[in-house]
Structure formats: C-alpha cells, structure tokens
Amino acid sequence: MPRFPARTLLAACVLAAATLGAAPAPQPGSAPREVLFVGNNWEGTADVLASTGDLAKVGRINVIPDKDERLREIYLNPVKLGFFLGIRATAGEGHDQFVDDMYTTPDGSAVVASRPSFADVVSIDVRTGRINWRFPVAGYRADHMALSPDGTRVAVSASTANTVHVLDIATGRQVGSFTTGDKPHENTFTQGGRYLWNSSIGDVTSALDAPWLDWTKGDRKITVVDTQTFRTVRVIDMRERLDAFGRPDLSDAVRPMSFSPDESKLYFQVSFFNGMVEYDVATDRITRIKELPGNPATSTDRTTWVNDSRHHGLSMSPDGAKLCVAGTMDDYATVVDRATLTEAPPVAAVKPYWATVDGDGSACVISESGADRVTAIDFATGTKRVSVPVGDHPQRVRLGHVPAGWSGPAAR
C-alpha cells in the first residue's frame, strides 16, 4: 500500500471537510432567483425578500446612493426646491418620497426604481449598488411604473407633467411617450404588451375633498395607447360609466387596478371609496360595484385620508378566482371571491398601501406602511400566513429577480 507524507494527508482531510461543509458556489450562468422587492418610500431603500413561504430576508439595496448630489442640485434650483418641499408637505405626509415603484431586468442584474422626490428613474446594479443610468422625468415628480411582459420596457408616470415615459430597461433610453389626463398614476400593459393603460387621478393633495367639490380635482380618465406608435387608441371617462350605473356619488379617479386573466374584466378602486368597481371591457360599462366594510374607528373627515385614498391596493390570484383588497384607511386587508363578491373576515393591518401576488400565486402580499412590515394572506383561506419587518413606510411590492446566491451589493 503506498504511503503519503503526513502533511499531504492532513491537507487532503482539511480540504475534504471544507468541501463537505460548504454550500455550493453559484455557477456562472445560473438562473436568477425570484424574489419580492419592497420599496421603503421614506427611507430610500428596497428590502429583498423570498418570494414565497416565510418571506425571509435576502438582502437590501440603497435606492438613493446619489442622495447628496441630487439634494445639492435641488437646493440650487428654486423651482425644483419648491416642488421637492411640496411633495414632502403633501403626498409625503411630512417625509421625502425616495422610492415609489421598482422592477428588475429579466436577468436580475439591475433594479429600476422611480424616485418621486428626485423626479427620476434610476437603474441600480444589484451587485455593486451603483447607478447604471438615470432618466429625469418631465416635470417634478415620478410615480407608478409598469413592466412590459417581455421585460424589456418600463413605463413611468410623470405626475406633474401629465406624461408617461416608456424606457428601454437596459439603457434608460426613452422609446416613446404620451400625454394623459391630470396626474397620471397607475400603468398596466395588456394583450401581451400591445397596449398600455394609464389612469390619471387628478389632484389628490388638495383639501377640496367634499363630494360636491369633486369637479375641482381635474381631468381624470383612462388613456389606452398602442405601444408601437404610442398613439391613443381609446379614452375611457369613468364619470359617464359611474353615472350610468347610478353612482354619481363616487369619484372617477381610478386608482390601483387588476385585469382578469382573460382581460375581459377590469377591477379598480377609486378615490374616497371603501370598495371596488367591476368594468366590462368589451361592452364598455360598469357591471358591479362592491362596497366593503368600513372600520368604525376610521375618521369620517375625508381630508384626513391619505392622498384621497380610502382603499389603495388590489391584486388577483393567478386563476382569477380571488381578489385581494388593501383597506388603507380602514386598517385591514381582505380576500374577495370574484364570482360572488363576498369577502373573507378582515385581516388587521396598519395602513396597508399595496397588494401583490407571491411567487407561487397562493398568497397575496400587502405592505403595511404604518407598521413597517409586509404580510402574506392565503388566497384560499383568507387568513394571515406571516408578517416580516421591512424599512420605513413600505409601499410598492413587486416580484423580481436577483442573481443566484445574491445577498446584497458587495462592500465598496
């Protein structure tokens, strides 16, 4: 039997032990990992969580690495400073709004985020934390975004310029834009990316919130454009449709929306209303309206409702059977059966601001902006699964990707 020097045997044993105990290193070309991105609006960070199960923390990204440079630029420009401070005093509830919406590139190498107070969209390399590109939007505030189904384009609302920009997600180059009503808000791609729907919500920061003053809120409508030409193909004024349904008391400011899987029905929330509206796309009419329970503790003073929202956050299970509703000012979320519009018992939540679907489609995930956590609610049972802490004032929650083995930007 051959003999080996003692040092050789010792080295082999150490190497074997280390190999057995170590997790396999990510291999080049490994498929990216699906995760949930949670935008902490007042903090300027994005927490990255497991997309299913316990929503375990994966990592965190600083969305404002250029904060000092942006603030210097703003404070040297009186007009920009005026809008910056205006956002803080109104929509920001006394805070700067540093991250509203975010999506990742298909390979998970970058996250693209809209930053309201900085009036821009940035792409951040998730490995280094550095900015790849920056796109200043028209006007003075950036808002909700949407990702095209193929992952190559991102649309962002420039809320003070009544404009939607559509950008190449890899380069930040604008590939198109279109005008909307007052204060464009939610964006949604349909028919495989052929069309883009934008809803404008009007002025939600004024104190003119009495129902008889609704006309002061501005021009609110849904604008549908062809994504190849960016020409408007349809304009929908929900004021006419609500009146025809017998609800002239409801606002026509369309807030979060969700299409059925076949895109034949659109469900949406409107300002000041604790419930949702069902709209039939083909017949161009409202078919059902569901009012959800109010919290007896909720103030009846509409001027105290954040940005005219009573309920803000709506998502649908992938099979189209259930809707998940965030009752923002009523401090709860609930799952609603789409066929009957009956709701499950409310799940207590503190100022829930958004609702999305987890990675396997079995749960709704809401952001509890008043408690700095996100909570998963089972679609099948309507009960809470898990809550996990995140940063200051979480709002938008989106599915995305990061490289395999990623746990945060590398230290610099």
Residue 21, pLDDT score: 38
Residue 24, pLDDT score: 42
The single residue listed with the structure tokens 């026509």 is 252
Q: What is the pTM of this model?
A: 0.91
Residue 28, pLDDT score: 56
pLDDT tens digit string along 21-49? 333 444 556 899 999 999 999 999 999 99
Radius of gyration of the chain (CA): 23
Spatial contact of 98 and 133, defined as CB atoms under 8 Å apart: no
Listed as ranges, residues in the chain with pLDDT below 50 are 1-26
**Domain boundaries in the chain?**
30-402
Choose which CATH entry (2.130.10.10, 3.90.79.10, 3.90.45.10, 3.60.20.10) describes domain 30-402.
Answer: 2.130.10.10
